[in-house]
Copies of this chain bind each other. A is one copy, B any other.
Amino acid sequence: MSEPLVIAGRAFRSRLILGTARYPNLQVMLDALEASGTEIVTVAIRRVRPGADGENLYDLLKDRYFILPNTAGCFTARDAILTAHLAREALGTNWIKLEVIGDEETLYPDTEQLLQAAAELVKDGFVVLPYCNDDPVVCKKLEDMGCAAVMPLGAPIGSGMGILNPYNIRLIRQMCTVPVIVDAGVGTASDVAIAMELGCDGVLLNTAVAQARDPVKMARAMRLAVEAGRLAYEAGRIPRRLYAVPSSPMEDRIEI
């Protein structure tokens, strides 16, 4: 019913992107992904050892989902660029969710390094989706240098605090024309609905589903919430008013 999400010319019916980390086990993850209706899943790239579980994860997912590799755990532009190139070689995709972390505790981005890495990866032909601060100026720069979307955080990764600064998300939506996808901080269904009601084009989440008491049920909740929020955005909500206006005025009563 709603418009599809289009990133770099590619259309997706679902506006939800899910991570693949921190699930109780593989089967729960697969069931949750299925229940969420997502078409895109992100996977972190480990560059150290070849083999084992990681490959299995990729094999399990690659026929069913559009795989979006990410550079989680990279703390410098150089490291992130290298990881992106390895991902392109290994997975045969030029899409990259770009993370350059600036602080081990909060996992907030390092904006300076992120901008450098994004510029170089765009030049190298990548479809770059950068995880960034809720900073309108940085988002505009990322768009201007050719990023395919911007992915501002709602709150620290894994914090579950929702959208701490909805004003900034709204400003980003107004200043950018590429898709705006809230990435990180979401805790529950209403957070997702709020993101969509602010006009965002999608939401990326991981911990909120993977670490819920019942991840599959939460995945279904998130699927419905992203649709509910999008529909509400498109439907045009009533304005907020301090003073009430009666919803059952005299003229609407049943006469008996």
A22-45 contacts to B, CB under 8 A, are 22, 42-45
Interface: A11 (CB within 8 A): no
User: CA–CA, A240 to B162, complex, Å?
Assistant: 9
Residues of A in contact with B, size category: 35 or more
Interface: A177 (CB within 8 A): no
Interface: A122 (CB within 8 A): no
- Beta-carbon contact of A218 and B231 below 8 Å: yes
Q: Which B residues lie within 8 Å of A136 (CB)?
A: 103, 106, 108
User: CA–CA, A89 to B155, complex, Å?
Assistant: 43
Closest to A19 in B: B247
Other A-B pairs, 12, CB within 8 Å; known A54-B254, A99-B248: A46-B254, A50-B255, A54-B256, A55-B256, A58-B254, A111-B138, A165-B165, A217-B231, A218-B231, A222-B232, A224-B224, A224-B231
Q: Give the interface of A toward B (CB within 8 A).
A: 1, 19-22, 42-55, 57-58, 69-70, 72-73, 86-87, 89-91, 99, 102-103, 105-112, 115, 133, 135-138, 140-141, 155-161, 164-165, 167-168, 170-171, 175, 184, 187-190, 192-194, 197, 206-208, 210-215, 217-218, 220-225, 227-232, 234-250, 252-256
14 A-B pairs with C-beta separation under 8 A: A22-B249, A44-B254, A103-B137, A103-B175, A107-B244, A109-B137, A155-B167, A157-B247, A167-B242, A189-B193, A190-B229, A212-B238, A217-B231, A221-B235
